[in-house]
Amino acid sequence: MGILEKISEIEKEISRTQKNKATEYHLGLLKAKLAKYRSQLLEPSKKAGEKGEGFDVLKSGDARVALIGFPSVGKSTLLSTLTKTESEAASYEFTTLTCIPGVIDYNGANIQLLDLPGIIEGAAQGKGRGRQVIAVARTADLILMMLDATKKDVHRHLLERELESVGIRLNKKKPNIYFKVKKGGGISFNSTVPLTKIDEKLVQMILHEYKLFNAEVLFREDCTADELIDVICANRVYLPCLYVYNKIDQISIEEVDRIARTPNSVVVSCNMKLNLDYLLETLWEYLSLIRVYTKKPGQPPDFSDGLILRKGVTVEHVCHAIHRTLAQQFKYALVWGTSTKYSPQRVGANHIMHDEDVIQVVKK
Ligand SMILES: Nc1nc2c(ncn2[C@@H]2O[C@H](COP(=O)(O)OP(=O)(O)OP(=O)(O)O)[C@@H](O)[C@H]2O)c(=O)[nH]1
Ligand SMILES: [K+]
Ligand SMILES: [Mg+2]
């Protein structure tokens, strides 16, 4: 039996099996098996022509965004609208066949936007260019899942399932489980919170399925068996995903309103250039980018050339971004902006910066 058949057998068995206390272990084990076969499927294939010709685009700029969607939802139209790059758009499916990079210039940042071929159900198993597209998606900082607002949400669920099945986790946090493989000593199992979705026996069974007999497992939150499997597999990526519903020029205002209220969603019309400003604003938010401006003593801040950094960066990170030796000479910094109580405020290296803060570094 090939891997694909094994996968479909297990999937069938999982859907056949009723979910209850008595089947909990059996289901957990099936899920572990399924994850194992799917990982095998993801291993680079040796078949010729399968490798990413036209897909090996270099990462550049401050962040990378991948456009994922069914054919003809308007991905190329969006790229051509938001960037200086032209990507062919047409009314027939699979117009785009490779990865086309463009650059969005927003708030002084260069955001790389990747137009990709449309993907369909079965992409993860190699239908169309699915595998190449998914490989690019894994390297992104954000997934823009583009959907046709005139169609039902089945596309969205199908794509979510495709990405899920190859270990891409959308808008999810990495499970807070400490896991370490050991050379001996058996399995040590602990938790800092009461566990309601998994118990020691199931943890043991799942680990054994992966031929792991010596390991340390510490649950720091009430996780599921699936989440434990994700941690064991270690090849999962956790990415923010923004759902972009295009072609709202074709639907009623009530329908637009309804879709716009669903979480993580933005409604647009690429052809009519509707709501694209809000899309960029949200993109910026989801990428967790911030601008920090520097200032020399006695001079106004340099607002023309901000540093583009990630949310959560400290003053120390900022020093590194200014010059590689600055952190060693750091004495303190003066910061103006929303991250401080007073403006300016004297802060240390651990102070966390906010978007649009101004900083003046004082050296030893
Ligand atoms: N009504 C309407 N049509 C749009 C809009 N945006 C794009 N289209 C049309 O949708 C069709 C497909 O657009 P593309 O940009 O080629 O779509 P794609 O997702 O890149 O398609 P593939 O590369 O084939 O996967 C074209 O005929 C576009 O003119 C929109 O906002 N409203
Ligand atoms: K098209
Ligand atoms: Mg296209």
For the question of whether the overall pTM of this predicted structure is more than 0.95, the answer is no
The predicted structure's pLDDT at residue 312: 96
In terms of domains, do 88 and 220 share one? no
The predicted structure's pLDDT at residue 341: 96
Whether residue 53 lies inside any domain: the answer is no
Q: Which of 72, 155, 267 to mutate to test the pocket of ligand 1 (most atoms within 8 A of CB)?
A: 72
CA of 249 to the centre of ligand 2 (A): 18
Q: Which of 114, 271, 275, 276 to mutate to test the pocket of ligand 1 (most atoms within 8 A of CB)?
A: 271
In terms of domains, do 163 and 179 share one? no
Low-confidence ranges of the chain (pLDDT < 70): 41-53
**Coil vs helix vs strand at 183:** coil
Give the domain extent around 81: 63-172+237-286
Burial class of residue 10, CB neighbours in 10 A (0-12, 13-18, 19+):
buried
The predicted structure's pLDDT at residue 52: 57
In terms of domains, do 107 and 209 share one? no
What does the longest C-alpha to C-alpha distance in the chain come to?
Answer: 74
ipTM: 0.99
In terms of domains, do 160 and 274 share one? yes
In terms of domains, do 21 and 107 share one? no
Element (H, E) at 189: strand 187-191
Whether residue 202 lies inside any domain: the answer is yes
Handedness of CA 104, 276, 245, 142 (dihedral sign): positive
- Residue 232: phi and psi, rounded to 5, are -65, -45
What residues line ligand 1, using a CB cutoff of 6 Å?
69, 71-77, 89-91, 93-96, 117-118, 246-247, 249-250, 269-272
The predicted structure's pLDDT at residue 298: 92
Q: Which of 270, 272, 274, 275 to mutate to test the pocket of ligand 1 (most atoms within 8 A of CB)?
A: 270
The predicted structure's pLDDT at residue 49: 45
**Coil vs helix vs strand at 264:** coil
CATH number at residue 307: 3.10.20.30
Interacting residues of 330 by C-beta distance below 8 A, sequence separation 6+: 315, 316, 319, 349, 361, 363, 364
In terms of domains, do 263 and 321 share one? no
The predicted structure's pLDDT at residue 126: 73
Paired strand residues for 173: none
Contact (CB, 8 A) for 347 and 336: no
In terms of domains, do 133 and 95 share one? yes
**Coil vs helix vs strand at 113:** strand
In terms of domains, do 8 and 93 share one? no
What are the residue ranges of helices labelled H in the chain? 3-16, 24-42, 75-82, 130-138, 154-165, 200-209, 225-233, 253-260, 276-286, 315-322, 326-329
CA of 278 to the centre of ligand 1 (A): 20
Pick the atom of ligand 1 nearest to 270's CA: 31
The predicted structure's pLDDT at residue 46: 47
In terms of domains, do 69 and 82 share one? yes
CATH number at residue 249: 3.40.50.300
In one letter, which amino acid is 280? L
In terms of domains, do 253 and 214 share one? no
Q: Which residue's CA is the nearest one to ligand 1's atom 12?
A: 72
**pLDDT 10s digits, 134-180:** 999 999 999 999 999 999 888 999 999 999 988 999 999 999 999 99
CA of 73 to the centre of ligand 1 (A): 5
State how far the Cα of 77 lies from the Cα of 146, in Å rounded to an integer: 11
Question: In total, how many domains does the chain have?
Answer: 3
